[in-house]
Amino acid sequence: MVTYDQILEDWPGSMARVSRTLGVAWPRSVDEARAEIDAFLDAGERHHRTLVAPAGGPAHSGMLPTLVAELFERCIRLSTGDDAWADLHRAAEDFPRVSALWGAYVEDSAGVHAAHTVFAAELQSLRSGLAADSQAVKAELEKLRSGLAADSQTVRSELEKMARRLAEQANAIAALEQELTTWRRDQIVPTLRRWLGRM
């Protein structure tokens, strides 16, 4: 196992160790490939640097969950030449027991999360629909209010016209009554008196 830091710091030594551990021969020697690999590997181009773990090791740093930190520490030991494969195999054997204990809970949590996501989406859709319906109802109410106001104004105008017509007719009737009274006094009564006098 080789770390990225080891490759950047000493790629020839790291590749020699890989060759010895795996029993493979590289198609080109280190001297033949050195110029190209040195030009390719540049520590200054690195975008991410991990935090330096405390002296007690990553498992004691608190930066990672215990299970992950212990696995990381075993991998680091392997990268430095320590034969930690047996510990790594034991960890692999322990993992199914841990996953059996918590796997159902994780699956249930994932199911609950998925259901919550669906519910949240449906709720948001319902809210959007209600907001749209509310806006439509408000617009319709405003339209009705405007229509009622216009109708009320129309009715008021018609009533005012009718009132004016009634007033005009009342004045006309009063004038006719006055004219009839005058005509009766000045025309009909004298004429009747003359006719009666002849009899």
Question: What does 114-153 look like in DSSP terms, one character per residue?
Answer: HHHHHHHHHHHHHHHHHHHHHHHHHHHHHHHHHHHHHHHH
In a domain, 157, yes or no: yes
Please, are residues 87 and 76 in contact by the beta-carbon 8 Å criterion? no
**Residue 95 covered by a domain:** no
Q: Tell me which of 48-57, 85-94, 178-187 is least confident.
A: 48-57
- Between 55-64, 89-98, 142-151, the lowest mean confidence (pLDDT) is in 55-64
* Structural domain ending residue among the three candidates 17, 34, 49: 49
Distance between CA atoms of residues 15 and 153, nearest Å: 95
Amino acid at 84: A
**In a domain? residue 173:** yes
SS3 call for 62:
coil
User: Which helix H or strand E contains 44, and what residues bound it?
Assistant: none
**CB within 8 A of 73, min separation 6: which ones?**
57, 58, 59
Specify the range with the lowest mean pLDDT, choosing from 29-38, 65-74, 117-126, 170-179: 65-74
> Taking 50 as the threshold, does the pLDDT of residue 52 lie above it?
no
Q: Poorest-confidence range of 81-90, 115-124, 139-148?
A: 81-90
Q: Residue 81 domain-assigned?
A: no
Assess whether pLDDT exceeds 90 at residue 36. yes
Query: Do the domain assignments include residue 172?
Result: yes
The mean pLDDT of the chain is 82
What secondary structure does DSSP assign to 66-121, as a single string? Answer: HHHHHHHHHHHHHHTT---HHHHHHHHHHHHHHHHHHHHHHHHHHHHHHHHHHHHH
pLDDT > 70: percent of the chain: 90
Q: So what's the pLDDT on residue 57?
A: 53
Cα 184 to Cα 189: distance, rounded to the nearest angstrom: 6
Does 48 score more than 70 pLDDT?
A: no
Q: Is residue 42 part of a domain?
A: yes
* pLDDT grade for 35, boundaries at 50, 70 and 90: very high
CA atoms within 13 A on the CB side of 194: 6
DSSP state at residue 184: I
Into how many domains does the chain fold? 2
Residue 97, domain member (yes or no): no
Long-range contacts of the stretch 11-19 (C-beta < 8 A, 24+): 11/37, 11/41, 17/81
The domain boundary residue, chosen from 34, 49, 64: 49
What's residue 55's pLDDT? Answer: 44
| Residue 178: domain span | 113-187
Per residue in 3-29, pLDDT (tens digit) is 888 888 899 999 998 898 889 999 999
Residue 12 has what pLDDT?
Answer: 93
- Residue 101 belongs to some domain of the structure: no
Confidence of residue 37 (pLDDT cuts 50, 70, 90): very high
* Per-residue model confidence as pLDDT tens digits over 128-152: 888 888 888 888 888 888 888 888 8
Rounded to whole angstroms, the Cα distance separating 44 from 177 reads 117
